[in-house]
Amino acid sequence: MYEGLISTAKAGFKSAVDHMKDEFKKLQIGRASAGLVEGLMVELYGTMQPLKAVANISVPDAKTVSIQPWDRSALGAIEKSISASSLGLNPVNNGLSIILNMPPLTEERRASVAKRVRELSEEAKISVRNFRQDALSAMKRMKESGDIREDDLFSGEKKLQDAVDLVNKEIDEAAKAKETDIMTV
């Protein structure tokens, strides 16, 4: 009876973890990565579009990201959106493409990025708690309406908590790995 609620909650847990990992990819950690800019929104042809939809993004070396738009008239808009973003990168427009050079991370910047990793992992845990609370509330309503017995409610709560503990462990491990990656010089 309550298995559907638990599987729905687990799907929510997975989406929270996936979102956190996507956000981790966008963090600047001194190495070039296409994931750093591909989701950046660019105003082009009167609409907002993700950068990956209007340009080829490549990583020629560990410290450089090259962005070559399909249409050269988009160079200015791409440059503007990168400058306005929170990436802290200075785009270099050479007339054909935009080059982003990754500056080496200072100790202060490393600490700030590590702090952001902790914030993102806490946001993921909050999402997990919210999904858990929704499922628990639905189970309690089912018990009140007589759809499940008290024993089923306790069993469902235990299974749900086990799933929460598992996903929280995954979140902690991913955050710790990312933080270690950032703090490694």
- Which has the higher per-residue pLDDT, 39 or 140? 140
Total of domains in the chain: 2
Q: What is the pLDDT of residue 180?
A: 87
Domain region containing 15? 3-25+106-183
pLDDT-based confidence at 30, cuts 50/70/90?
A: low
- From the CB of residue 84, how many other CB atoms can be counted at a distance below 10 Å? 10
Q: Is 77 helix (H, G, I), strand (E, B) or coil?
A: helix
Same domain (yes/no): 111, 95: no
Shared domain for 161 and 116, answered yes or no, is: yes
| This prediction's pTM | 0.70
pLDDT in tens, 121-165: 999 999 999 999 999 999 999 989 888 888 888 999 999 999 999
The CATH number covering residue 146 comes to 1.10.132.20
Cβ contacts of 155-158, under 8 Å, gap ≥ 24? 155/2, 156/2, 156/5, 156/6
Pick the residue with more confidence: 90 or 175?
175
- Model pLDDT, residue 45: 84
